[in-house]
Amino acid sequence: MTRFSQEEYDARLQRLFVRFPSVQNVGFGSAYKPGLERMTAFDRALGRPSGSFRSLHVAGTNGKGSVASMLASVLSAAGLRTGLYTSPHLEDFRERMRIAEGGVCRMIPPEAVFAFLEEHEAEMDALDLSFFEVTTGMAFRWFADERVDVAVIEAGLGGRLDSTNILRPDLAVVTSIGLDHCALLGDTLEKIAAEKAGIFKEGVPALVGEVPDVTRPVFEAAAAGRCPLVFAPDAEPSLWADKDRLLAQMDLRGAYQEKNLRTVLAAVDLLRAQSFYASLPDGAVTEGILHTAARMDFHGRWERLCEAPVVIADIGHNPPALKENSAQLEAMLRSGEATSLIIVYGVMADKDLDGILPLLPREATYVLTAPHTPRALPAETLAARFETYGKTSGTPSGGCLCVPGVPQAVARALDLARQALAADPAARPLVYIGGSTFVVSEAVPCFGR
């Protein structure tokens, strides 16, 4: 077995990305491998770690990362050694697997990643696993080895055929349903809901966060005769009376977090009905919710990267998320919290720009860019689409600039904001960075994080 070193670790990790292409790098078309057969076989080869720890399973179109992180923060604040598996990562591959305990959150060590990839290379090749199946097996094995009390597991794509769905959790949560990845999950909300509801298990309580009217019967049918089902909008969580204080003080600041908060508080009530979680104290729930970003080292959700000028980054990239974010940005302009808006924006080439462009704020200056990935839409192409759209629908009030390269685009946006401040010290320019997880991941290091 090769001896660990930083150089060997980097090389091994690079081989992982090349041999098992990730969705982040090549898209769902070639990286997504639906079905549980390979994952079940891999889990068996690993010694069935999926059955050696308690778990909560979280799926959904949007909000699942926030809900999973809040739940993990709550459980760790209650004194439980808590694993958290999420995707994608922003900067470091190891962000996908964390353990929180005693107020400390740690990522999987490089040595553990290296040893796993070395030890199980033969099984990975023989089973022809997807990147996500490899990382799921790695997370389950590490959580088992570390003897976590419970792990919060975020599903990747869909739910029914997602590799995480070999779990039998204590609670299954579907956060929201929106039209995203339609080519793989279905082209209606009902079809997508059916895929997400595939994480429901016999006798395991199920919770659904946001419930469009057309999806309610889908979830009810999936749960009928199988498991108890709660819709968060119908519930009155025991701590909901404290929501205004929680929303005002929690370190996850997006307006959309109100929906996620209700889902988390409803989940806590369902967990408290189970003997293992019966003693979850209110103080731990509050502590975990208020300090999720800090406790779980959780980033990229309406995150303030700078205060002068104010810079906000958010990885929300599909139409439901963009609609929420645009509404919050426009509300900040109306209220005077921001006097001008500068948006650093880039997307993947497979995104539906015809559906996205109408959702973007009009009163903004756009700095269009492209992150460093083969999947990205070139900045020049994006600028041309903006121009074509503007001819029929009106151009953004501040116009569009094309700046290839995310760091360069961030620098240009900051320069524009500083020019506004120099012209008027009372101005409050706001820089928003988004459109793609890749854009945010390349922008974060520009702020010394």
CA distance 118 to 426: 57
Q: Which two tokens stand for residue 84?
A: 């958290």
Question: Which pLDDT does position 19 carry in this prediction?
Answer: 85
**C-beta separation of 150 from 75 below 8 A:** yes
Task: Enumerate the domain spans of the chain.
Answer: 6-296, 303-447
CA distances from 286 to 106, 163, 212, 239, 282 (A): 21, 32, 28, 9, 6
Query: What's the pLDDT at 316?
Result: 86
At residue 18, the pLDDT reads: 85
Strands in 340-345's sheet, in edge-to-edge order, are 303-307, 310-313, 429-434, 340-345, 365-368, 400-402
Residue type, 106: R
pLDDT at 266: 98
Going along 330-402, which residue ranges are E strands? 340-345, 365-368, 400-402
Both structure tokens of 377: 């839409």
Q: What tokens appear for 46 in the block?
A: 């690993």
CATH match of 303-447 with 3.90.190.20 = yes
What span, in angstroms and rounded, lies between the C-alpha atoms of 212 and 364?
31
pLDDT on residue 178:
77
- CATH architecture entry for 6-296: 3-Layer(aba) Sandwich (3.40)
CB 175 within 8 A of CB 60: yes
The whole-number mean pLDDT for each consecutive block of 10 residues of the chain, a chain of 449 residues, reads 90 89 53 80 97 97 95 98 95 96 94 96 93 96 98 92 96 87 70 94 97 94 97 95 96 93 98 96 97 94 94 90 92 95 94 87 94 92 86 68 95 96 94 95 89
What is the H or E stretch that residue 360 is in?
none
Degrees, nearest 5: CA angle 275-280-282: 145
d(CA 395, CA 386): 8
Report which secondary-structure segment, H or E, holds 313: strand 310-313
One-letter identity of residue 199? I
Q: Do domains 6-296 and 303-447 have the same CATH topology?
A: no
Share of the chain above pLDDT 70, in %: 93
Q: What percent of the chain has pLDDT over 90?
A: 78
Q: Which spans in 32-164 are helix H?
A: 37-45, 64-77, 110-119, 121-127, 131-145
- Find out whether 39 and 152 touch, Cβ atoms under 8 Å: no
Residues linked to residue 98 through DSSP beta bridges, in sequence order: 84, 107
pLDDT of residue 25: 54
| pLDDT value at residue 399 | 84
* Pairing between β-strand 303-307 and β-strand 310-313 as defined by DSSP bridges: antiparallel
Amino acid at 389: Y
Report the sign of the C-alpha dihedral through residues 57, 325, 248, 96, in that order: positive
Please tell me the predicted confidence (pLDDT) of residue 273.
97
State residue 82's pLDDT score.
98
260, HSE (Cβ side, Cα atoms, 13 Å): 29
pLDDT per position as a tens digit, 295-307: 999 999 999 999 9
The DSSP symbol for 423 reads: H
In a 10 Å sphere around its CB, with 0-12 CB exposed, 13-18 middle and 19+ buried, how is residue 9 labelled?
middle
pLDDT for 102 = 86
